[in-house]
A and B are shown apart, each in its own frame.
Chain A
Amino acid sequence: MVNILFIEHDGSEYPVEVATGASVMQAAVSNGVPGIDADCGGSCSCATCHVYIKEEWLAKVGEVNPTEEAMLSLSTDRKENSRLSCQIQVTEELDGLVVTTPEFQF
């Protein structure tokens, strides 16, 4: 099992424990973490599972893929560490991952 800490924009923390193989979006949704809508169900086509990755984890979660880049580039709250959480696979390597959710999904 892998531990992920979700932090809401107001600072509320939601630690979850998930099996590998799922996406970070699924880890949030299946554990009732608020702040992630995932309207398209995980196909990288709505940008409502937008999260910010804590600096030190950026390299480990991998590169933004081209479809994801296209969707993220239309986000009003895009930052350097923005990712769509449906595009990050949970692996053993990500044990301890910290992500923050934006105030709004849009």
Chain B
Amino acid sequence: MSEAVSGQPQKKSKWSLVGKDPYAMPIEQIDLSHPGIWQANEYLPFMERLRKEEPVHYCPESAVGPYWSVMKYADIMQVDTSPQIYSSEPTIGIVDTFQEYSLPAFISMDPPKHDEQRRVVQGVVAPANLKNLEGLIRQRVCTILEGLPVGEEFDWVERVSIELTTQMLATLFDFPFEDRSKLTYWSDAATAIPGGGVVSDHQERWQAIQDCLAYFTRLWNERVGQEPGNDLISMLAHGEATRNMPQEEYLGNVLLLIVGGNDTTRNSISGGVLALNENPAEYDKLRADHSLIRNMVSEIIRWQTPLAYMRRTALMDTELGGKHIKKGDKVVMWYASGNRDEDSIERANEFLIDRLNARQHLSFGFGLHRCMGNRLAEMQLTIVWEEIMKRFHKIEVVGEPERVYSSFVKGYTKLPVVLHGLK
């Protein structure tokens, strides 16, 4: 998932817009790339002003340099579906990466290389294969939910969202269960900014990635010698199209799968709990009709938008929304804004679990780079909510949620809750 602005807040930055009135500053000073307003949950009115007044917006100066922000659903769709103009290389994060500290992964490649590499691995998260894993994932979801205390405060992020996604990843890879916390660490380290809390410098981050690679190389070697199984590594090791893939490709893509499948789903699990608490009438609808879960899962993914943006780089001079974008410019598609665009989504600023066309959201992106794990994410969230509704009347949020210090990973570090059993 490339390098993004994430980690822990350090000292107050001069770039932070926290506490500022979005309508009282010159519009060019609005800078969505700084993590401050995302962590403080103050980003919505900034996005709203840009959507209304300057939907393709140039920020001339920021901690990450100048960049364009694309705010409207239709414009985002145009950028996302024009890879010949807007490249995913060299990176899809707002910060340029250090070449020596990255591995090849198809998320930051253009066609034809992107297509070739994606085609090799995407079968492992295609619905036909996911069917084989559903029973085991459900079993593990049940075990976690049954171990939770009722009527007593605990942190939903730690006990459920992180634990569930880590276990699900371990399940998908058939990764040694006792070592599963390594997956969480490798995933967090891969997207961390050095010095931001998870890792102290590039070298430490790179070391984490190397450890991950060594571990997965060992697993591959084990699985090659065993009967083919239903886990991702075994499928890759035995699959006709993948068994001879170069080691670097295997590792780069395994890492992409770990990162892509980890905090996105984690934060959508937490985000759904929060959204239902903030919209009690929707929670009532859900209690009255569990068959809404499938539709609700899409609405949760829209509402959460677990990755706030994807970045592209203009390959040529072009025009978008009446603005002239120059070759080499950074162009940031703010999915978090397009998902709130009233011109494309009816009542976009309301959380409605029975929304019509709930699947038509931007959170998975569109075009060639559309989220490969989208069906897996939907399956995981559906199972989680089906099993939650069988057991609990309410997951009550009892304190302020704490949010991730990142403008890329949109999520939670803490969500204090109390469970209420079925009456």
Residues of A within 8 A of B (CB): 37-41, 43-48, 67, 70-71, 73-74, 76-77, 103-106
B368 in contact with A71 (CB, 8 Å): yes
Q: Closest chain B residue to A73 by CB distance? A: B115
Q: Closest chain B residue to A105 by CB distance? A: B127
Q: How many angstroms between the C-alpha atoms of A47 and B359 in the bound complex?
A: 13
25 interchain pairs, CB-CB under 8 A: A37-B359, A39-B359, A40-B77, A40-B360, A40-B366, A41-B360, A43-B77, A43-B81, A45-B366, A46-B370, A48-B359, A67-B81, A70-B115, A70-B368, A71-B367, A74-B115, A74-B118, A74-B119, A74-B368, A76-B123, A76-B126, A76-B128, A103-B127, A104-B127, A104-B375
Name the B residues within 8 Å of A70 (CB-CB).
Answer: 111, 115, 368
Nearest CB of B to A10, in Å = 14
Within 8 A of A (CB), among B339-376: 357, 359-360, 364, 366-368, 370, 375
**5 tightest Cβ-Cβ pairs between the two chains A and B:** A104-B127, A45-B366, A76-B126, A45-B81, A39-B359
Q: How many angstroms between the C-alpha atoms of A104 and B359 in the bound complex?
A: 15
Per-position contact with A for B123-139: 1 when CB-CB < 8 Å, else 0? 10011100000000000
Q: How many angstroms between the C-alpha atoms of A97 and B375 in the bound complex?
A: 30
A73 in contact with B119 (CB, 8 Å): yes
Q: How many angstroms between the C-alpha atoms of A104 and B111 in the bound complex?
A: 25
Nearest CB of A to B339, in Å = 13
Q: Closest chain A residue to B74 by CB distance? A: A43
Q: How many angstroms between the C-alpha atoms of A74 and B111 in the bound complex?
A: 11
Q: How many angstroms between the C-alpha atoms of A103 and B366 in the bound complex?
A: 22
Partner of A76, one of B111, B115, B122: B122
B119 in contact with A106 (CB, 8 Å): no
Name the B residues within 8 Å of A76 (CB-CB).
Answer: 122-123, 126, 128
Nearest CB of A to B283, in Å = 26
Q: Closest chain B residue to A43 by CB distance? A: B77
Known: A73-B115, A74-B368. 17 other contacts (CB 8 A): A39-B364, A40-B366, A43-B366, A45-B77, A46-B366, A48-B359, A70-B111, A71-B368, A74-B115, A76-B122, A76-B126, A103-B127, A104-B126, A104-B127, A104-B375, A106-B122, A106-B375
Q: Does B80 contact A (CB under 8 A)?
A: yes
Nearest CB of A to B57, in Å = 23
Nearest CB of A to B289, in Å = 19
Given contacts A70-B111, A73-B119, A74-B118, whether A106 and B126 have CB atoms under 8 Å apart is yes
Q: Closest chain B residue to A104 by CB distance? A: B127
B357 in contact with A41 (CB, 8 Å): yes
A39 in contact with B360 (CB, 8 Å): yes
Within 8 A of A (CB), among B99-157: 111, 115, 118-119, 122-123, 126-128
Name the A residues within 8 Å of B122 (CB-CB).
Answer: 74, 76, 106
A106 in contact with B127 (CB, 8 Å): yes
Q: Closest chain A residue to B123 by CB distance? A: A76
Q: How many angstroms between the C-alpha atoms of A40 and B367 in the bound complex?
A: 9
Q: How many angstroms between the C-alpha atoms of A106 and B128 in the bound complex?
A: 10
Q: How many angstroms between the C-alpha atoms of A79 and B375 in the bound complex?
A: 21
Q: How many angstroms between the C-alpha atoms of A43 and B78 in the bound complex?
A: 10
Name the B residues within 8 Å of A46 (CB-CB).
Answer: 366, 370
Q: How many angstroms between the C-alpha atoms of A104 and B69 in the bound complex?
A: 35
Q: How many angstroms between the C-alpha atoms of A28 and B368 in the bound complex?
A: 24
Q: Closest chain A residue to B81 by CB distance? A: A45
